[in-house]
Every structure is written in C-alpha cells, then in structure tokens.
Amino acid sequence: MTNKAPYGSTWTNLFLRRPKNGLCSAILASSLGLIFSAPAKAVDPPTFNLNSGTYVTRPSLVITPAPGAVARFTDDGSPVTTASPQYTTPITISLSRQIRSASDLSGTLSAENIINLAVDQNSIAIPRNSLSLWLRGDFGPEVASGKLSKWNDVSGANPPNDASQVSSGSQPDFGTAINYLGAAKFDGTNDWMTLTNSVTDLTAGASVFAVIKPESTSTGILMSNSASAGADRFAIGNSNTQAVAQAYSGSTASSVTSPNGSLVQSKFQIVDYVHDGAGNATININGEPAASGAVQNLGNTSRALNFLGSDFANANLFKGQLAEILVYQRKVSEAERGQIVGYLYSKYQLDNAQSLAAPIISVPTGSYDAPMTVAIAADPDAVIRYSTDGNNPTISSPEAINGQVRINFTTTLKAIAFKNGMTSGISTSTITLDPVRWPAPSASDTSPLHLNLTSPTFGTPIP
C-alpha cells in the first residue's frame, strides 16, 4: 500500500510476518535505501595489579584486559594503537617506566589505563605509610617544548595525586637543575598547577619535604591545601629569606616562620615542615631546626582547593625551582624525618652542590696591541660557555674548549660556568684593539680580500 508523502515522494509501508518457525522474515535494507548497523560495543580499559608508585625492587606488572579482549601496551609513554605489542605474560619493570595499556576487542580499543612505576633501590629509606604525594624531578614529568603540563605522582596513592596544568601560559618551565636532575621552574607570575586529590583527614598532622631553590623576595606559596575561601588551610612557602608554614582551623589562622636569612635565595636546599597533630609545628632547613611554635590543629574536612605553586586563590605565586616534594597525611617521627632528609641530601648531593664561583678571565678589560688567546678558568669539571656579542651567555652558548677563546678584534667577552646543575655568575672583560689594524668583520663590507703569499726558501740554491 502506498500513501501520498510530502513533496511528491511516496511512503512505502512494510508489513512483517512471523513465520511458523518463530523467526522474523528478512527485510532487505536496500529496499529502503538504508544500512542498519549495531553501535560499536564499549570496551572497558584493562586493570593493573599495581598502583603508580616508587618501588625498591623490580615490580612485576600484570595487565588484565576486558572480557573477550586482549591487552595492548607501550612502555615508552607513547599512545596505544592496535599495532602495539600484545600483553601475554607479567612484565618485570627493571627501570622506571610509564606503561600505557588498552583493551583490544576485535580492533576496537578501549580508553587507556596508565601507570607510572619508578624503580629506586635507594628509596628503601622512605616510609610509605600515609604518603599522599611524591613528585620527583627524575621521573614523572610530562614535558613538551620545555613546559610542564603534568607531573605524575609516584607516592602509591590510589588514585594518584598528579599535578597538572592545561593552560600553556601557566605551565612551569622544566629542565635540568641540581646534580643533573630535573626541576620545575615557577615564574612567580603565571605558573601554578592543580593537584588531583582532595585532602581530607589531617587530624594526625601533616609533613612536607621539598627540595627547592627560592628566587624571589616576595611571599610565595609552594603548596596549599584548603577548603572554600582558604578555610582549614595547610600551606607552605617562603617570604623573602624565611620559610613559612600556615595552619588554619576553619578561618582561624596560625603560622610558623623561620628567622630572616635562614632560607637562602638562589640556592637549592631541603625544607621540611611537620605538623604534629597536637597544635605544634616545626620547620627544618637542610635537616637543621629553623623554627617551631604553637599552631591551630588541622581537622577532618574536605579540602578541594589543592595547588602547587600558589595559594587557594591562585595568588601569592611561588617563584623558584622545585626538584622534589613528598607529602604525608601525618606527623613523621624524628627517625623517619632523618631518613627522608638523608635520602634527599644524598640524591641531590647538597654537600657538593652549594655554589659555583664565576669564571676568571685571564685578560682584564683594557686596550691591547695585538690579537690574543684568552684563557678562562673555572671550578674543576665545570663547563665554561661564553659570548662575544654583548649578550649574556647561556647553557646553549659556545663552549670554551680547553678554557680558551681567540680574540681578533675589539670584543666584549662574557663567560659563565655550569656544574652539577649549578650556574655561576657571569664574568666580563672588554678587550679593545686598534680598529684600523684589527677591524671587526662587517656584513656590509664587500671589498675583496687580498692575500700576499711568499714561498719559504729552504737551504742554499743549487747552481
């Protein structure tokens, strides 16, 4: 039967009959000009037998795919595809790795499950009980074009308490810092990161250990956990050359501050803050007591405003570098505190990486008669880099091979040294030569170069 349809087309009515065998009669989709297809079945991601964390011995990772699927994985941080290796047996993690895995059901991939596994035998000294955040400069950062978009937590917390920042304008720089290990560099103006997990129960206190290099005399908050409008806040940071810890009960504020000069600008140091859960807090710098005092107790309440590099309102931004941070939701014992500080001290070689003297240029500023080779001396094993264009040298500037630089015309020579993640000051010498006899090269000078060559005479001519 046909009925009149809009615009002169026709409707076709199809009647389905159930045959005697109970099966629906077949309908050819082509008779309607349609193709019927079932939606793709959603596939669950695989699961892991481990949490992201730092392991003393080599862990064995088991990946369990969704029912009926196989698991595919990568171990180099790259996304999983249908061409990625198929998981078959437990994976022994010998070196720190990020493992990504997805369930593959007949060519349909699930969302990825990602795990970050740091392997560090020396971390046996680090207590894991109530460890809720561990950001390491040597493993876990996700960096693109020098910017830190995500810093993966390896504390063992489930889910991991990752730090992230999606806005490129607020992402800290990240690069090699102390003892050839990485660090995030917060600019004190725009940079901060959000911590994933809400901090709730701090009735047993809190302990924070951070390897930092403060670079501003202004107040900067390194880490803040708080409820709405900054209530029930626990925050740490610096004010000029003082380390500061804040503890709020509701909106009632309290703090402990170390003396002026106890925190050194532009120098890496270990700062630890311990709240004992009984109204007392201490600050130690490089393992030595710096301050103590009575503070408000920290309650059991939701703290949804958790940031790295800023306070609860993303103000009072920290300026400086952060190489590593560990956070406990309890007071650590004095023995534990000593173990953690000892681990960090050894890892970052703070005894040897305190300061680096500026290079010494052998020729002082002045006027000279002829071109020369200038010697530059610096601390043993330091790399000396220099500039001759008036700009300050950087880690990317030319290296002074064997500590020597040739000067052929009037030049402002600047030199800097790099060692063990440290950067020295810049030394400068302006060497002036007669511009007529020793002119500087000019891009606009197109006059031909004339060379007068004389062959040497050897011995007595043979008649």
The amino acid at residue 366 is G
Where does the pLDDT of residue 104 fall: very low under 50, low under 70, confident under 90, or very high at 90 and above?
A: very high
Q: Is the pLDDT of residue 347 over 60?
A: yes
* Domain chopping of the chain, boundaries: 2-31, 121-348, 360-433
Q: Which long-range contacts (CB under 8 A, 24 or more apart) does 361-364 make?
A: 361/413, 361/415, 361/427, 361/428, 361/429, 363/407, 363/429, 363/431, 364/429
Question: Tell me: domain 121-348, CATH 3.30.70.890, correct?
Answer: no
Least confidently predicted of 29-38, 52-61, 326-335, 350-359: 29-38
Q: Is the pLDDT of residue 150 over 80?
A: yes
pLDDT for 244-288, tens place per residue?
999 999 999 999 999 999 999 988 999 999 999 999 999 999 999
| Dihedral over Cα of 333, 279, 277, 237: its sign | negative
Q: Which residues, 6 or more positions from 209, have their beta carbon under 8 angstroms from its beta carbon?
A: 270, 271, 272, 324, 325, 326, 340, 341, 344
Here the tokens at position 462 are 């043979």
Spell out the alpha helix ranges (H) of 95-147: none
Where does the pLDDT of residue 460 fall: very low under 50, low under 70, confident under 90, or very high at 90 and above?
A: low
Q: Is the pLDDT of residue 17 over 60?
A: no
Mean pLDDT of 149-174: 97
Q: Is the pLDDT of residue 130 over 50?
A: yes
Which fold is adopted by the domain 360-433?
Immunoglobulin-like (2.60.40)
Q: What percent of the chain has pLDDT over 70?
A: 85
Q: What percent of the chain has pLDDT over 90?
A: 78
Give pTM, 2 decimals: 0.75
pLDDT for 412-442, tens place per residue?
999 999 886 677 889 999 999 999 999 998 7
153, 155, 202, 190: CA torsion to nearest 10: -20
CA dist 53 and 55 (Å) reads 6
The average confidence (pLDDT) of the chain is 89
Q: Is the pLDDT of residue 32 over 60?
A: no
Closest CA to 63 of 102, 95, 97: 102
Where does the pLDDT of residue 137 fall: very low under 50, low under 70, confident under 90, or very high at 90 and above?
A: very high
Q: Where do the DSSP E strands lie in 319-437?
A: 319-328, 360-361, 366-368, 372-377, 383-387, 404-407, 411-419, 422-423, 427-433
Here the tokens at position 259 are 């003396």
Mean pLDDT of 147-166: 97
Q: What region does 340 belong to: left with phi over 0, alpha with psi -120 to 50, or beta?
A: alpha
Q: What single-letter DSSP state applies at residue 251?
A: T
Mean pLDDT of 17-23: 47
pLDDT score at 57: 96
